[in-house]
Structure 1
């Protein structure tokens, strides 16, 4: 099945996921390496965000990553800013359950999303942004075939220091070539 790997299943995000997403969105340890603003959101703001931005958008596809063995929701993965004319999208991923960090679940979820983006949606390009201190994510993205395309220098202030936001992207033909070499 397209939305399953050996340990991960993606399912479409629903309104019922709002409270869980609210928990992840307000966990500063989770958001430290993915959210530029590090705001704490009231539940009403999260409900509005989920209704309008996640569920109400024609240019986004958001999925809850499920650990298959126990059907445990572990994070969210999305294609956002989908441009159907130019066949581009941006991808974001947050593993909200910290006990699943560093165990390959992000890699499995990202591969499922990339397969969907390139094989099913026929996108030409997928991009993402990553904070320069997030070595684990940068390693994963490079392993998946993303290339650095530039950066926004010192545009993020964390822990008393300035960091870059790195812009990365991968083209459909590059992804297909990488998949052939991994067979």
Structure 2
């Protein structure tokens, strides 16, 4: 299954993505924005992680590929999908640092949101973002996400405590913003 944008496509994540994802998952510069523990993972850990998410009934995970090169550049997912209440948590990681701050993440996330609201008919998506990840917070706000609260001093990194910002987006607000 593919979702195509102008420069990126989303394709279903598979066990063939273990090597690429393992590389990103162990890059401290990449994970500093998404992983509060900054653990180092073994290849077997990553294999099990991908096996679990690809076989899960309450998540949808996609590799982000640049269309021109067909190169994987990141991953985006809907996790903790609650079909009864029509909501899910969403995540995005651009693992290839050459693609940071160039609009690829925005395009990929927009494809995921289009799928969540238009195909899955979700009522709401939400996310968690580290308070120091200002680039991501700005992106989420431009896409229509609003703050719902903060988990104060949720994790310790580089000598200080950091908050986790909770953000949400309702289908009606997303549709209105993208007319």
- What does residue 114 of structure 2 align with? 115
**8 Å CA contact 2:131, 2:165 repeated in 1:** yes
Tell me the SS of whatever aligns to 1:55. helix
Take 1:91 and 1:10, find their aligned partners in 2: how far apart are those partners?
14
**What are the Cα deviations for residues 104-152 of structure 1, in whole angstroms up to 9, with x where unaligned?**
0000000000000000000000000000000000000000000000010
RMSD over aligned CA atoms reads 1.1
**8 Å CA contact 1:149, 1:167 repeated in 2:** yes
Tell me the SS of whatever aligns to 1:65. strand
1:23 paired with 2:23, answer yes
For structure 2, the 5+ residue unaligned runs are none
- Matched residues, number: 179
Take 2:80 and 2:27, find their aligned partners in 1: how far apart are those partners?
25
* Structure 1 length-normalised TM: 0.96
Take 1:13 and 1:2, find their aligned partners in 2: how far apart are those partners?
11
Within 5 Å, which residues of 2 pair with 1:27-66? 27-52=27-52, 54-66=53-65
Take 2:131 and 2:152, find their aligned partners in 1: how far apart are those partners?
10
Take 1:113 and 1:97, find their aligned partners in 2: how far apart are those partners?
19
- What does residue 11 of structure 2 align with? 11
Tell me the SS of whatever aligns to 1:3. strand
1:2 to partner: Cα distance? 7.2
1:64 to partner: Cα distance? 0.3
- What does residue 132 of structure 1 align with? 131
1:163 to partner: Cα distance? 0.9
**8 Å CA contact 2:62, 2:76 repeated in 1:** yes
Take 2:68 and 2:100, find their aligned partners in 1: how far apart are those partners?
16
* Structure 2 length-normalised TM: 0.98
- What does residue 158 of structure 1 align with? 157
**8 Å CA contact 1:95, 1:106 repeated in 2:** yes
- What does residue 147 of structure 2 align with? 148
